[in-house]
Amino acid sequence: MFRFSLALALIAAAGAPQDGASTPPKVVAKAPAAGDRTDVKIESTIELEIEASSNQEGEPKQTRQLSYARTLECSQVVQSIAEGGVPTWRVTIGAAKVQRSGTNIAPVTESSEIENKTYIVTRGEKGLVVKSESGDPTPADASGLGAWEDFGKLLPTGDAKEGQTWQVDAATITALISVPDVAAPTGTFEAKVESSVEGKLTVFFSGELKGKTSKGFDTSLKVAEGRLVYDTAKNRPLSMSVTGSLTAEKPINQKVAKAKELRQVDEPVGVVKVKTSKLEVKAEFK
């Protein structure tokens, strides 16, 4: 239900000491070059509580818990650069594991179908396009590959001064942070340069995305604390961490025949609520 997508942005720092003070680094997206390689490791944990309740008096609520812990390790290489500087990436999955547990579900660890597979990622008019190198259908687990390339949309423009703040519209980062079934989320993120010390730039961000899924769930994704750490000397991100929460709610409808009418209508008979007790994502880039 939830996919948390991460993306990679490369930045360059400029400036030298003047009169004993350091000039704030300028954050500039670095153009990719053929052969550029990035090794990515992403670990995520999400613990869910699902509650179903009936409108009928006396009907007890039904509650269950689900937990997912995912690990993804992959290498990304810029395969080519098209006219206009548009890159094509080749992403090879070294490991893709998911551990599931929950109410009446014994803990089990499984390999994703994308493990040990290679995918080609390109950027089209509507965003990133992921295709299997073998020509096989692209599974859902591969849909977020390369999304880390949108990290640059969370970065400040111009000089990165400590304490500098700015807003990021949800529409610009839906590939990076989103609920996959929400087509057009709304909301904003507040971002801030938390520190710039010894060649490391730390950007803090928080905010909320809202929207309705195609299955009718009113969904809210809140990022309480997000941090990007960049090596401004090597022009690449070092790590990212996110903690937050997810809630979703949907009415349960049932077809009911209207008396003296030759038709049926949907009437609400209950509600399903989903909330997280834990949502964490950590990523490393080398």
Structure confidence at residue 91 (pLDDT): 97
Determine the Cα–Cα distance for residues 131 and 89; give it in Å rounded to an integer: 11
Q: Who has greater pLDDT, 182 or 244?
A: 244
Q: What's the average model confidence in pLDDT over 95-122? A: 95
Q: Does residue 4 surpass a pLDDT of 50? A: no
Distance CA 202, CA 187 (A): 23
Name the 3-class secondary structure at 233. Answer: coil
Q: Which two tokens stand for residue 202?
A: 């730390």
Over 50: is that where the pLDDT of 157 sits? yes
CA atoms of 155 and 149, how far apart (whole Å): 12
- Name, in order, each residue with C-beta under 8 angstroms of 214's C-beta and a sequence gap of 6 or more: 181, 183
Residues 100-122: what's their mean pLDDT?
Answer: 95
- Using an 8 Å Cβ cutoff, are 51 and 87 in contact? no
Phi, psi of 168 (to 5 degrees): -125, 125
29 touches 152 (CB < 8 A): yes
The full length of the chain comes to 286
Round the average pLDDT of the chain to a whole number and report it. 84
pLDDT-based confidence at residue 185 (cuts at 50, 70, 90): confident
Q: What is the structure's pLDDT at 223?
A: 93
Architecture of domain 11-285: Roll (2.30)
Candidates 53, 62, 49, 3; CA nearest to 274 is: 49
